[in-house]
Structure 1
Amino acid sequence: MTSSSGVGGLTSPENALLAPSSSLRRPLVVAVGTVVAVIAVGLLLRFVPLDVAFSDAVHHLHARLLTQAAEAFYRSLKPLPAAGIMIVATVAAGLLARRWQVAVAFFGGVAVTWGLAEAAKLVVARPRPGMSEAMTQAVGATADPSFPSGHVAFTAAFAAVLTCALWTTRWRALGIVVGVVLVVGMSVSVVVIGVHFAGDALASIVWVAGVYPAVRAGGAMLVIPWAERTIQRSVSLRGR
């Protein structure tokens, strides 16, 4: 692979977020197949709740320390804190790489993958598990649909993008470990505190695994080059 110059830095293959794929078709086909399959499973679980018994068993473990830790983790990634984490991580990624393209790819990868999962919720419209009044007060109202889990989708998307950003660095192993801990931790948390069924959490992981590669490839092959050309054209016009 070769590097192409652009305003604000190089679109360099040394960062996996920006490395062009050999073809956009394959990840796009996988992404479409994943979307169709996940939504189909969600509709099935809505009317045939196969995961309810397991989810109830986990929710009623009565492990106080586990429940407290799960509540704290869940609260830490409510929409407002999650937005703050995204902003900080995006700025850090851009500054460390010294490329605005990396920051755009980081933010866009998480936001688009997560946002599409949130949109799928509206299609499936699976009701949330019934929560006690005490639990509702602890974690807040959860009126939006249940499938797939938005918290797990955000965490998995963040983990995938972080791992991708670190893939060609010496921090790759750390990125993988952190990502696995985050995803497993949030998946267990949402079931333990009873805000999601187990199928909701698993569906979010499958969603990110199938959709993010297409989002990354599309950004690297279409969005970033378009942005670079637009900036170059703007700079050229100003220089006249």
Structure 2
Amino acid sequence: MSWMKDSAPAGDRVDVAPHLPGILHVVRRQSDAISFGAAALVIVIVFGFVLSHTYAVTHADLSVDKAFSHAHRQVLTTITHAVYTIISPAPAIVITAILTAIIWARTRNLRAAVTFAVLVAVSWVPSDIVKILVHRHRPDPTALAHPFLPTPPDPSYPSGHVVFAASLAMAFIFLARGTRFQGLAITLGIVGAAVVGLSVIYLGVHYPTDVIASLLWSVAATTIILTLWNRYVIPRTYRALAAVDTARR
């Protein structure tokens, strides 16, 4: 039985081929996944506009950043600086490329590796457009006991670092779906996203609501992207990508 036949869409419920990596399984309730993803993305964008024009929420946000800034310790500052630097845009691109290559080497499935890379990139990059549209200012460094300097020049909402970390976590969770590593992927994904989220708040470069919105954005974006990608793109590129895998064997 061919993979294309196994995963060709047939309404909202589709049987999946058990031998495929979980990231290539077509979502069973596609319309629900798309509706959830679209609604959540709209909520994140609207919420951003509300936040950028609501002093009370920003003031409450800043009080959390102040508390973290007053609680700075050298070890934690070193760790959070390292986290922030490692997943800055340029290193993040390199990390994604390396992980994609490793996934291809381990699974011998170019479709899975390409889907992983697309899931991370296509959910991460558009968040910069939201930054420009919402244009929420960063936390005021003069209000912080230990500000992060120089202050990042781009707007605050959402956090690109958190979006990347959470999208990467979601991609690994989808990759491990249906395997004995699924629980581990979920646990490590939650921990990793939480560490990055707390790091950007601790450093005072983002508000807590930036982080919350970033997490929601990543879950929604990866869900809708994977649903559409596996339904429309993978079936149309199956033969070309499978031929590359065959040539490697």
The 5-angstrom pairing of residues 51-200 of structure 1 reads 51-131=61-141, 135-137=147-149, 141-200=151-210
Q: Offset of 1:66 from its aligned partner?
A: 1.7
* Number of residue pairs aligned between Structure 1 and Structure 2: 226
Aligned position for 2:31: 25
CA contact (8 A) 1:156 1:208 kept: yes
Q: Offset of 1:62 from its aligned partner?
A: 2.5
Note the alpha carbon deviations across 1:187-236, whole angstroms, 9 max, x for none: 0000000111111011101111222111111111111112225x38x99x
Do structure 1's residue 4 and structure 2's residue 14 form an aligned pair? no
Work out the CA distance in 2 between the residues paired with 1:175 and 1:21: 19
CA contact (8 A) 1:60 1:192 kept: no
Give, as a single letter, the amino acid of the residue that structure 2 aligns with 1:37. Answer: I
CA contact (8 A) 2:17 2:25 kept: yes
Note the alpha carbon deviations across 1:85-105, whole angstroms, 9 max, x for none: 100111111221111100111
Do structure 1's residue 37 and structure 2's residue 47 form an aligned pair? no
Q: Offset of 1:12 from its aligned partner?
A: 4.8
Q: Offset of 1:25 from its aligned partner?
A: 2.3
Change (3 A) 1:112 1:36: same
Work out the CA distance in 1 between the residues paired with 2:138 and 2:28: 41
Q: Offset of 1:5 from its aligned partner?
A: 5.6
Q: Tell me the TM-score normalized by structure 1.
A: 0.85
Note the alpha carbon deviations across 1:133-160, whole angstroms, 9 max, x for none: 98544xx551111101000000000001
SS in 2 for 1:17: helix
Q: Tell me the TM-score normalized by structure 2.
A: 0.82
Give, as a single letter, the amino acid of the residue that structure 2 aligns with 1:106. Answer: F
Q: Offset of 1:3 from its aligned partner?
A: 5.0
Q: Offset of 1:63 from its aligned partner?
A: 2.6
CA contact (8 A) 2:23 2:175 kept: yes
**Runs of 4+ displaced beyond 4 Å:** 132-137
SS in 1 for 2:24: coil
SS in 1 for 2:22: coil
Work out the CA distance in 2 between the residues paired with 1:60 and 1:42: 27
Q: Offset of 1:113 from its aligned partner?
A: 0.8
Q: Offset of 1:130 from its aligned partner?
A: 2.4
Change (3 A) 1:12 1:59: farther
Give, as a single letter, the amino acid of the residue that structure 2 aligns with 1:93. Answer: I
SS in 2 for 1:168: coil
CA contact (8 A) 2:141 2:151 kept: no
Give, as a single letter, the amino acid of the residue that structure 1 aligns with 2:47. Answer: V
Work out the CA distance in 1 between the residues paired with 2:151 and 2:238: 43
Q: Offset of 1:128 from its aligned partner?
A: 1.0
SS in 1 for 2:140: coil
Give, as a single letter, the amino acid of the residue that structure 2 aligns with 1:34. Answer: A
Q: Which runs of 5+ in 2 are unaligned?
A: 6-15, 245-249
Give, as a single letter, the amino acid of the residue that structure 2 aligns with 1:99. Answer: N
C-alpha RMSD of the superposition = 2.4
